[in-house]
Structure 1
Amino acid sequence: MGKDTRVAITLGDPAGVGPEVIVKALASLPRKELASFTVVGNIEALERAKQATSAAVDFAMRPTDGAVLVEEVPIDAALPEIGKVSATAGEASVRYIRRAVEMAIAGEADCIVTAPINKEAMNLAGHHFDGHTGLLAHLTGSKSSFMLLASERLNTIHVSTHVSLRGAIERATVERVLATIEAGHNHFMRLGMKPRIAVAGLNPHCGENGLFGDEDTRFLAPAVELAKAKGIDVTGPISADTVFARAYNGAFDLVVAQYHDQGHIPIKLVAFDTAVNVSLGLPIDRVSVDHGTAFDIAGTGKANHVNMLSAIAYARLVAGSPRRPTTQ
């Protein structure tokens, strides 16, 4: 990451572990690197997290040597109680994200890193989105976005995420599967790699020639052929009970998962602490931790910050890569 590149880190739900993993992660980085970061949230929440974790890092609301800059976002209420779902915390988390998006669009941040939010709290505050992915698409005016889970040996991109299983089947159209393949291809090309992509089947054994459903033949296979015609190195559909193991062992760089659990389960099995969530298809760059608010341990200082460090590292990689998406 260049010395002038800035990463904005949103605080997440202030009642969860987000503030704690942020302060612990930043405290573990070399002091000279801290000027590259801005935390979007509330300095009071960060100071509370410092007390819980005993993390040795300073925060300031104006540029100060050796301190992390804070973009203060008013929440018009007292700081929410730790470990509790509340509309106040949900509203605060949305305000942090909105401000970070504004910064990214204005060129004040090159990539956003998001700490975890709570969907129930966000909905209690009147923001009816499926999580970060839907909210970010709304805030940036994007038609849709794609969730990539990235780890050292396994990467998955999802055709659908936070919908019912029935809804996921309905979303596995030729157009959406093709768009997902292209989004994954373009992202890896941007990072300097032409990826070998595998498309996971939707039905058991890809439908077994119609015995267990015909969606793989009707929708997934045509999408793969259209992607190949665009010069993308893609194979499939391949039965989901084998494709992730093949990718983990080096046969593929990216697997297109058809729905949330199909892609999340293998990633969480092999890279629970290090996998990161990357939003593709947006006009801005966003990377997130791949864990929740963990209200049960919030405020104890026990939250593991390894995943936040992984998110920061991936954000630096993305921020240093020019936006030149291509399907060739």
Structure 2
Amino acid sequence: MVPKKPHALLLWMLVCSGGSTEAIEPISTSIAVGMAAALTGFLATYPNIFYYFNECCRPEWISLNKTGLKVDLDRKLYGQHIASRIILKAVSGFMSNDNPKKPLVLSLHGWTGTGKNFVSQLIADNVYKEGMDSSFVHIFTSELHFPHASQLETYKSQLQQWIKGNVTNCAHSMFIFDEMDKMHPGLIDSIKPYLDYYDKLDGVSYRKAIFIFLSNAGGESITQTALDFWKAGRDREEIELKDLETLLSLAVFNNKKSGLWHTSLIDKNLVDFFVPFLPLEYRHVLQCAMAEMIARGHQPDPSVADQVARDVVYFPKTERVFAVKGCKTIESKLDYYI
């Protein structure tokens, strides 16, 4: 990044702080006003130039690329017609609303390797200019950030402060909670007020934030539904959200090993969408292998992709319909064949 000149630094502080004098306390108001007036002509000559020095909580850095998100979901996410449709509508609808009544809350469920983390990345890449590297995207992993049950009350307080501080810094913050199925029950309820229909809490509005929960919980219900459709000779694309949403929310709510067990987030209907991720079939694993070869700069080889896909463990054991780990192990398996 190009080092900021002194006058550029002052302007960056003014621009990124939204004009708040609190952000430049050491400088007197009169001096700040004088310098701003002297530089007005310069800014008029070079509009928006200072927005590019560093990431700011402004539209130049945060705005939805709806077309990009649709293309990414269509071309990069395999076997998830329900999730693709929900994610596109939910995110585009929320981001186009200048005055949402509450934050967007998405709960993504399914077996490992089906695309939950990948979808979170696609959302970030198409909302934030810096993608997952944005300072406004925050990831919490249960086993890393909240490992000890004995520290539950401390975690609750810390989580509240982390979210409040980051939303205060940028209303369009995104929070991703991974491994919700391993989170201590009761912890996520500590942020329930931030997800509710409040205009402001202690002077802070959370209505423009995005919360995404990732969990394996409910995966059994999703898989059983997909298996029932397969046994009935029906195509997986016939599965609709209505076939899974109620079943999924109940399964998650009543799962004692899940961080969403009996949570008020579900009880109070604060989760906007429960997004099911279907188990992947051989054809989808094949697509993952081809995509990984392209990502590595190799010419995609169908025969190699076939070898990798066949090497994956499937169930039921006799029919070998669904990949147990989805596309989770494709990257490591390719190392063996390439």
Q: Shorter-chain-normalised TM-score: which range?
A: under 0.3
Q: Which has the higher strand share?
A: 1
Higher-Rg member (1/2): 2
Give the structure-1-normalised TM-score.
0.27
Q: Which has the higher contact order (CA 8 A, sep 6+)?
A: 1
Give the structure-2-normalised TM-score.
0.26
Q: Which has the higher helix share?
A: 2
